[in-house]
Amino acid sequence: MIITKLEFLDRAQIDRDTLEVWIQEEWLVPSGSATEPVFSEADLARADLIRDLIHDLGVNAEGVGPILSLLDQLHGLRRVLAEVLQSMRQRSVPPEAGRSMGRDPERS
């Protein structure tokens, strides 16, 4: 679902200046153009997270970027892991495949 800037401001409960800072810091990266950005539900959830980090947890501006970066990396790794698991399921690789690779877990 595409969310306009005005709707995003309302739903995220932030003001224009705050949104501009978050975009400048690249904490939010809307699609669309610079003059007419559009947002997604994921952007809205990220804005909620940023607001919680700052207001509820007391994280300062210098800490928000690294926290978001680590969360992005975590989500990326989860996505890759899910793809690997799906690939293994499609190939019907049994969980005991390590034994066929010359590793005997009982000897470890």
What CATH number is given to the structural domain containing 83? 1.10.1660.10
Segment 28-52, tens digit of pLDDT: 999 988 788 999 999 999 999 999 9
Strands 37-39 and 31-32: what pairing?
antiparallel
Domain enclosing residue 14, as ranges: 3-91
Global pTM value: 0.74
**C-beta separation of 46 from 28 below 8 A:** yes
Instruction: Tell me if 106 is assigned to some domain.
Output: no
How many structural domains are present in the chain?
Answer: 1
Question: Does 88 have pLDDT greater than 60?
Answer: yes
Give the model's confidence band at 25: pLDDT under 50 very low, under 70 low, under 90 confident, else very high. Answer: very high
Instruction: Tell me if 97 is assigned to some domain.
Output: no
Instruction: Tell me if 50 is assigned to some domain.
Output: yes
Instruction: Tell me if 100 is assigned to some domain.
Output: no
The per-type count for the chain, helices as H runs and strands as E runs, is 5, 3
